[in-house]
Amino acid sequence: MNSYRRLTVALALTLLVASAALFPQTSSPENKKEEAGHKTKKPEKKSEPAKPAAEEEKKEEEKKGGMSADTFSGLQFRLIGPAVASGRVIAFAVNPKNHAEYYVGVASGGVWKTVNDGTTWMPVFDGEGSYSIGWVTLDPNDPSVVWVGAGESNGQRSVAYGDGIYRSDDAGKSWKNLGLKKSEHIGRIVIDPRDSKGVYVAAEGPLWGPGGDRGLYKTSDGGKTWKAVLTISENTGVADVAMDPSNPDILYASAYQRRRHVYTMIDGGPESAIYKSTDAGATWNKLKSGLPSEDMGRIGLAVSPVDPNVVYATIEAADGKGGIFRSTDKGATWERRNEFDEGALYYARVFPDPKNVDRIYIMNVFLRISDDGGKTLRKANEINHHIDNHAVWIDPDNTRHCLVGSDGGVAETFDGFTSWQFKANLPTVQFYDVTVDNALPFYGVCGGTQDNFSWCGPARTKNVNGIMNSDWYVTTGGDGFRSQVDPEDPNTVYSESQYGVLVRYDRRTGEELVIQPQEGKGEPPLRWNWDSPLIISPYSHTRLYFAANKLFRSDDRGNTWKLISPDLTRQTDRNKLPVMGKVWGPDAVAKNQSTSFYGNIVSLTESPKKENLIYVGTDDGLIQVTPDGGGTWTKYDKFPGVPETTYVSRLAASHHDANTVYAAFDNHKNEDFKPYLLKSADMGKTWNSIAGDLPENGPVLAFAEDPVNPNLLFAGTEFGAFFTIDGAKKWVRLKGGLPTIAVRDMVIQTRENDLVLATFGRGFYILDNIAPLRQLKPETLERAATLFPVKDALMYIERHPLGGPKKAFLGDALYTADNPPFGATFTYYLKEKLKTKKEARQEAEKEAAKKGQTLPYPSHDQLRAEAEEPKPEVYLMVYDESGMPIRRVDAVVTEGFHRAAWDLRYFAPSETEQEHPGEEFLPATAQGPLVMPGKYSARLFKRVTGAVTELGGPQAFTVVADGTAGLSPSDRAAQEEFHRKVARLYRAVSGAINSANDVQTRLKAIRKALQDTPSAEPLSAAADSIEQRSNDILRALRGDVALAARNENVPTSINDRVSNIMEGERFAMTRPTQTHLDAYAIAADEFAQQLAKLRTLIQVDLAKLEKDMEAAGAPWTPGRVPEWQEQK
């Protein structure tokens, strides 16, 4: 590890997490409670059931008049991973009856389930209202009942918030929100083993403001209603709760006073404490004996399942008085066993061993284990395992077998933390930022992650396997943030880790050169943000802009830097700002821990229409503008509707107008979740909100203006991606293929017209080809159907690096992300679903029933018409340049936007079944030949009750050959001509084989019929002759099956020669070899002879035999139409 890597890893260990947003609201004075016999009097709280999804969608449809999320759900985002690292894992819930089945709570990636010990995973929480997870647990009496607390409990920089408690009664298939929606951060859920309806929830409450659902809540009816059984104040919630396994009425709860803002963190106070109840939460006593008298912070609790008299606590406290504490008398007295107290806001979890009362597991940077009740600690072997541990499950049947959740994902050990098996198939990476390059033939995607480095990988590959973990590479270590790629040299990548440690990475050599600007002699230290903004100027690929609290410019790729601004922030002393109603002293618990130095630049853009017009945004709510590359600056500090000092999350100068700029503000760290998105048409002098009807509970984190259509805008929010086609009058969610997730950054790859998202917990997503949205107008949705312009298609031969498609022979655990479909992709829109007569009738009957009406019973003719009606079809027809139809592409008939792909091949020459069952990983030989590069067109059709109607088109497009093939146009023409000849021959040979086989099938029935017709016995000789000649023909066509079955070397058949040509050239774009030309000539000559024999056999000899059988009165046989005439 080089010195720079050591530096970034050291930073990762000490600084921990990430930041964004702003100033506090003054809280009311702290509530004072009795220390002993404290009894809450707060009334029961009715749960707030989640609104059904269908109801929400209906309201959206009514509000937006057709511009709804469902309309565009057919435009599917494509996850490209990676899964080489995963995001932070918070909790495990393991089925006690089957340890291979468990659920994983991902801090900002939802809930995932495996039924095969992590061989495969299924996300089971994607459609719910939250993606941030605080806790997951199973009903101890029924493991199919799953409880989830939404909202991570670690109060670090980038923590997200949840919307309450969820329960699934069907093992994660469906969920119901049970309320406590204002809890935002859930520490733990425990269930009474005597009565599964009795559930306790440790609700930390809002991190960035007072109030909310804060405290320990209890339900006695399975979540229908909740009662706050322990409340402290509007600033203090409950971080943890532990239940005595021998007496579930005994509970321990840790009160947790804390507050975070953009500029600070206070992780404790006088209200943090440990409470105990012996009557199922009815009354509580504050525990004190042996515990710190100083202000405490976050406290983790655990009761030993071996001896419930033993209770453990990890305590964060002021003045170094925290550590690991133990009670051996159920909390009456405590002993400080160890001084270890690090990073409680990010960890503070202790797990007891299920077999050894003295063994505990402490979650921290390094997983620590004590075998003597916390007195001494040893580190688990973290070699080959990601540090920053948050959760552990210890197998009660074999305590050397454990699951561990860390910032890197899920790992499993079978030898007590000596060696590790990492689950490299869980795509839950937390990306802060994204950029794209201009590499050919496919562009690359780069970005930085929370505690998992900065990565680059391909948007797609030529491999049939898709995008694999091995396709990704690291550009720098530590926590990763902004990346930029030289637009003229995709091998030069600029990447940064926390606090502005910027490197220039050369992919050719693997070298990383640190190029971070430094202070001059005697100058005050720069203030770098955790995620410092970096851009490459649109006017020079070697010009960089990089910002701390001042802006730097480099014209030589970072070798030298020039300071082009003064301090552009408010320069506020954060230590003088009030938090929770007062200004805290320097000894406050974890004061300012894991926060950037306040007053720095966090967003940056240069106008692509006017060189040197630069905008910067700060973490304290300023936008500064220079029109002359830093010569002069103008400060703007007030924006309509936006609270002062709100964090400027994104800036984007318009591609279309030099005076236009967009700004997104994020105030969630003041407990303000509104979307603030503004536009200025005069270089920042005046602003107007364009947030429109964006959801009110999701801050805007990312923004992109389409470089072609100025009215097409995209926004990434805390809970998804949105677009508008009318300059922000109406926003529509893009939900196709995209789960509920924070979209932290977005960029449009201009060459390919792709929208690329960085999500904070689910990796990178791509919406391929947004061009149809550019052409979309409101009136488009009123048309019956529309076929949109078609993007040119790249032709190449797909590779098989693993020997087969997808995962080949490497097992189901291998992670692969999908490429877009090979070939040309068609985008079309249907206003209404094409319904069958039966569907139309049933729909009419439902509508009538809603109105209390009854429709007449359908007539026999109507019912018969329904039964005989073919299903409606929608399809595309592809035409060559001459207008000849060459391929049909089937499509779906439902309403909305859809996509269908053509694989750039003519129709398959044969529909014969695969001859080798069990080898489905091999592509079928019967595949149509590739078309020639050139001009093509497509039309959209529907077929309803047999009538064909054109719905859209024609749309012209070009098939372009990949330049790496090296074929001249004449060579390519020769190849295509030959492939089409071979395909025609293959079709004929396959048909002949099927016809000969059909002869033999018919002969079996004929022989049985002859046996049943004594007068027809003389015809047996004719049947014998036909059978022998058909055997001879089949032997020539498909080979000597009888001898081949005995492993004898047999002559090459006609089918062998044709199949060998097709197989031999399937993975190549080259002029045909002479061997293949000769093989074709032989096969064509031999086939002509056999086909003539087959025609005579079927059309003459077999026809005569069947006619003679009919005359003899033999029973009917397949292929024969019986003759009959009424006898009078």
The string of DSSP codes covering 62-108 is HHHTT--TGGGTTS--EEEE--SS---EEEEEE-TT-TT-EEEEETT
Let me know if 603 is exposed, middle or buried by CB neighbors in 10 A (0-12, 13-18, 19+). buried
pLDDT at 1069: 83
> Do 879 and 951 touch, CB atoms closer than 8 A?
no
Residue 270 pLDDT > 50, yes or no? Answer: yes
pLDDT at 56: 45
Strands 713-717 and 720-724: antiparallel
Cis geometry, peptide bond prior to residue 695 (ω within 30 degrees of 0): no
Residue 6 pLDDT > 70, yes or no? Answer: no
**How many CB atoms neighbour CB 315 within 10 A?**
26
| Region of residue 164 (left: phi > 0; alpha: psi -120 to 50; beta: else) | left
Report the distance separating Cα 113 and Cα 845, nearest Å.
40
Please tell me what DSSP assigns to residue 1099.
Answer: I
Half-sphere exposure of 526 (CA within 13 A, CB side): 24
| Region of residue 222 (left: phi > 0; alpha: psi -120 to 50; beta: else) | left
pLDDT band at 909 (very low <50, low <70, confident <90, very high): confident
Let me know if 270 is exposed, middle or buried by CB neighbors in 10 A (0-12, 13-18, 19+). middle
Which residues fall within 8 angstroms of residue 1037, CB to CB, at 6 or more apart?
989, 992, 993, 996, 1053, 1054, 1055, 1087, 1090
- What is the 3-class SS of 780-839, one letter each residue? HHHCCEEECCCCCEEECCCECCCCCCCCCCCCCCCCEECCCCCCEEEEEEECCCCCCHHH
Residue 591 pLDDT > 70, yes or no? Answer: yes
Report the distance separating Cα 596 and Cα 699, nearest Å.
20
pLDDT at 920: 44
Nearest C-alpha neighbor of 186 from the set 138, 134, 230, 236: 134
pLDDT at 926: 64
- Mean pLDDT for 482-488 is 98
Report the distance separating Cα 965 and Cα 131, nearest Å.
45
Strand-by-strand arrangement of the 389-394 sheet: 389-394, 402-406, 409-413, 421-422
pLDDT at 38: 37
CA 884 to chain centre: 41
The CA distances from residue 813 to 385, 628, 806, in Å, are 18, 55, 12
pLDDT band at 914 (very low <50, low <70, confident <90, very high): very low
Residue 615 pLDDT > 50, yes or no? Answer: yes
Task: Tell me the DSSP string of 709-745.
Answer: -TT-EEEEETTEEEEESSSSSS-EEE-TT--S--EEE
State which amino acid sits at residue 577: L
pLDDT band at 973 (very low <50, low <70, confident <90, very high): confident
Nearest C-alpha neighbor of 825 from the set 880, 882, 772, 762: 772
| Each residue's pLDDT tens digit, 952-963 | 999 999 999 987
Residue 655 pLDDT > 90, yes or no? Answer: yes
Report the distance separating Cα 838 and Cα 858, nearest Å.
10
pLDDT at 2: 41
What's the token pair of residue 182? 């204002």
Which residues fall within 8 angstroms of residue 864, CB to CB, at 6 or more apart?
none
Residue 530 pLDDT > 70, yes or no? Answer: yes
pLDDT at 11: 36
Please tell me what DSSP assigns to residue 697.
Answer: T
| Each residue's pLDDT tens digit, 239-251 | 999 999 999 999 9
pLDDT at 965: 62
The CA distances from residue 933 to 280, 465, 909, 1092, in Å, are 75, 25, 20, 37
Task: Tell me the DSSP string of 10-27.
Answer: HHHHHH-------PPPPP
Angle ∠(242,246,250) on CA atoms, nearest 5: 45
| Each residue's pLDDT tens digit, 147-176 | 999 999 999 999 999 999 999 999 999 999
Nearest C-alpha neighbor of 528 from the set 576, 590, 477, 598: 598
Report the distance separating Cα 611 and Cα 538, nearest Å.
8
> Do 524 and 599 touch, CB atoms closer than 8 A?
no
What's the whole-model pTM score?
0.92
- Mean pLDDT for 399-427 is 98
Backbone angles phi, psi at 352, to 5 degrees: -85, 150
pLDDT band at 906 (very low <50, low <70, confident <90, very high): very high
- Mean pLDDT for 862-874 is 93
Let me know if 419 is exposed, middle or buried by CB neighbors in 10 A (0-12, 13-18, 19+). middle
Looking at every residue in the chain, the average pLDDT score rounds to: 92
Residue 37 pLDDT > 80, yes or no? Answer: no
H helix and E strand count, the chain? 11, 69
Report the distance separating Cα 451 and Cα 449, nearest Å.
6
Strand-by-strand arrangement of the 743-749 sheet: 78-81, 763-767, 754-759, 743-749
**How many CB atoms neighbour CB 105 within 10 A?**
29
pLDDT at 846: 93
